[in-house]
Structure 1
């Protein structure tokens, strides 16, 4: 029995890799095209593009692994059927339930990986990606250069006399008009610093003037920081539970949580369907295997999204038990009854 089980697992493994790698490559290209659209707003180096792609890996794996596994099992069983190996196994007294038991363990293992992926890794990667893009956008808002018109830096009007090659500026003047006071600052050099999403203007070797109807003040300084002029909104969370179930209820995250749990369970819930589609009699059946696989995947994912919109968290029980029961009935009538 172990030899038979190992042979079936080996057949599934070979097909799984041959399906997963092209599917993952296609999905990666789609995500890279999506990343390329960010360059219309922000400047990204090759290293930063690679970093963003790395942040998207959990999402890529989450959507490609279960589909690849289902297709691999179905095609592996179909190939064994076409080679008459399945018929030989059944003729030797091996029951179809042995095939189900053989693929059940890797299916459970994959489900555990998918649940960990979306529940733990996905929030962390999504938050890092969102914060990185916000960080780059905040930098893009202050792509300063010398001009006769000047710039707006938070509450300050900023004039730059000269651009330097080392991303610093010379002959900088800032002006801020408040309700009862006006402030004028002049510095020989300036530099933009982005410190954890907080943009700061570092001024060196300058003087500042503050004047109102009542007084006039002058200061000289070697170094001055103008802080908190523009703070980037960064997402924060302590635990995955706080991300998925925050104190302020988020219907979008709750719906995504339900859908992702159902997507994670797809490998286990569709074992009977894979066996029903893949196990055929080579001489009498010309099963439209690719059509049935496509319809099975589309139907499950459509039901997962639709039911969570209609009945909320009850979709977990309804779809899980309903799909498992329905595919088991098909398996009993089509496979067990014949073989």
Structure 2
């Protein structure tokens, strides 16, 4: 029995990888195209694009693994049926339940991985991705152009003479007009420092003047730092439970929670359908296995998305129980009664 179990798992593994890699590649390309649209708003280096890709990786895996397992396990049984190996097994007294138990272990393992993915990894990656994009958008608002008027730094009007090769600026002038005083600062050199969302303008070797109707002041400095906190809406994140229970984007997270929970259960509650579609008698049956696989996936996803607005959280037990019972009924009619 152990050899037979290993043989079935071996066939499942090879088919799983051959199906997963194309699906994963296609999903990755789609998400990369989506990420590329950010470049219309913000500037991203290759490394920053890679970071954003890693942030969406849990989502890519989540939407490819359940489908891959269903297709691979069904085609595994279909291949064994076409090779007449399933018929031989049943002739030797091995029950269809043995095949289901063999597939149940990887199905449970995959469901656990998917649950950890969407409940723990997905919130963390989503918050990091959202904060990173928000930070880059705020950073993009601060674009300085040398030898041009109209630059600003917080409350300061800023003029930069030229940009040096090392990224610094020379011949820098800042002007700030307050209600009772006007301030003018000139410096030989300026450097922009970005420290976790806080922009600092570091001025070197300059002079500052402040004048009003009552007084005039002047100072010389070697180094001066002017801070400007960018207005960046960053999401706070402590634990996965805080993310799911927070009121921020509550409707979106509710739909996501329902959908992801049902997708996590899909490998387990569809095992009866896997056997019903994949196990055929090669001589006496014309199998539409690919049509049935496609129709099953579309139906499950359609019910998952379509019933959420009506049943809300009751969608999870409703679909899980009804899908399992319907699958078992089909399994009894097509497999148990025949084999």
TM-score, normalised by the number of residues in structure 2: 0.95
User: Quick one: distance in 2 between partners of 1:247 and 1:223?
Assistant: 45
What residue is the counterpart of 2:325 in the other structure? 325
Q: Using the TM superposition, give the Cα deviation of residue 319 of structure 1 relative to its aligned residue in structure 2, in angstroms.
A: 0.9
User: Quick one: distance in 1 between partners of 2:13 and 2:200?
Assistant: 54
Q: Using the TM superposition, give the Cα deviation of residue 253 of structure 1 relative to its aligned residue in structure 2, in angstroms.
A: 1.2
Q: Using the TM superposition, give the Cα deviation of residue 193 of structure 1 relative to its aligned residue in structure 2, in angstroms.
A: 1.5
Q: Using the TM superposition, give the Cα deviation of residue 249 of structure 1 relative to its aligned residue in structure 2, in angstroms.
A: 7.2
Structure 2: tracts of 5 or more residues without a match: none
| DSSP 3-state at the match of 1:312 | helix
What residue is the counterpart of 1:211 in the other structure? 211
User: Quick one: distance in 2 between partners of 1:54 and 1:72?
Assistant: 26
Aligned 8 A contact 2:209 2:219 in 1: yes
Q: Using the TM superposition, give the Cα deviation of residue 226 of structure 1 relative to its aligned residue in structure 2, in angstroms.
A: 1.8
What residue is the counterpart of 2:250 in the other structure? 250
Aligned 8 A contact 2:81 2:281 in 1: yes
Which segment drifts farther, 32-41 or 9-18?
Answer: 32-41
What residue is the counterpart of 1:232 in the other structure? 232
User: Quick one: distance in 2 between partners of 1:188 and 1:231?
Assistant: 29
Structure 1: tracts of 5 or more residues without a match: none
Matched, 1:294 2:294: yes
Aligned 8 A contact 1:270 1:327 in 2: yes
| DSSP 3-state at the match of 2:230 | strand
Q: Using the TM superposition, give the Cα deviation of residue 327 of structure 1 relative to its aligned residue in structure 2, in angstroms.
A: 0.8
Q: Using the TM superposition, give the Cα deviation of residue 14 of structure 1 relative to its aligned residue in structure 2, in angstroms.
A: 0.8
Aligned residues: 339
User: Quick one: distance in 1 between partners of 2:277 and 2:180?
Assistant: 79
User: Quick one: distance in 2 between partners of 1:216 and 1:323?
Assistant: 82
| DSSP 3-state at the match of 2:284 | coil
Q: Using the TM superposition, give the Cα deviation of residue 248 of structure 1 relative to its aligned residue in structure 2, in angstroms.
A: 5.5
User: Quick one: distance in 2 between partners of 1:55 and 1:129?
Assistant: 6
Aligned 8 A contact 2:120 2:240 in 1: yes
User: Quick one: distance in 2 between partners of 1:214 and 1:263?
Assistant: 73
- Pairing of 1:53-132 with structure 2 (within 5 A): 53-132=53-132
| DSSP 3-state at the match of 1:180 | coil
| DSSP 3-state at the match of 2:40 | coil
What residue is the counterpart of 1:270 in the other structure? 270
Which segment drifts farther, 31-40 or 2-11?
Answer: 31-40
